[in-house]
Amino acid sequence: MAGRGTVLDILLQSKRDAKAAKRFMAKVMKKQQRVPRVLVTDKLKSCGTAHRSLMPSVRHRSHKGLNNRAENSH
C-alpha cells in the first residue's frame, strides 16, 4: 500500500498525449490493485483526459507543484 505522498510509478515515454497518459494510469491502477482516493498530476491536459476516461469517480487535483516532493516539503 502506498503511503502519503509516495510516488507510485514512473514511466518514461516519448510522447505525453492522452494515449500515453491512459496507458500509464492503467498500468499504475493494475499494479496497485485499488482505485486511489485522490489523483495529483501536473497541469498537462492529457492527464485530465485519461483521468476522466479511466476513473471518473476519483477526485483529480491538477497543479504545477502538488506532485513535486521538493515543493511539498516546506
Residue 42 is given by DSSP the state -
The answer, as to whether pTM is greater than 0.75, is no
Check residues 61 and 73 and name the one with the higher pLDDT.
Answer: 61
Helices (H), the chain: 18-32, 45-54, 69-72
Q: pLDDT digits over 11-42, tens only? A: 666 777 888 888 888 888 888 887 888 888 87
Hey, where are the domains in the chain? 36-74
User: What pLDDT does 1 receive?
Assistant: 47
| Average pLDDT for 48-55 | 88
Q: pLDDT-based confidence at 68, cuts 50/70/90?
A: low
User: What pLDDT does 60 receive?
Assistant: 87
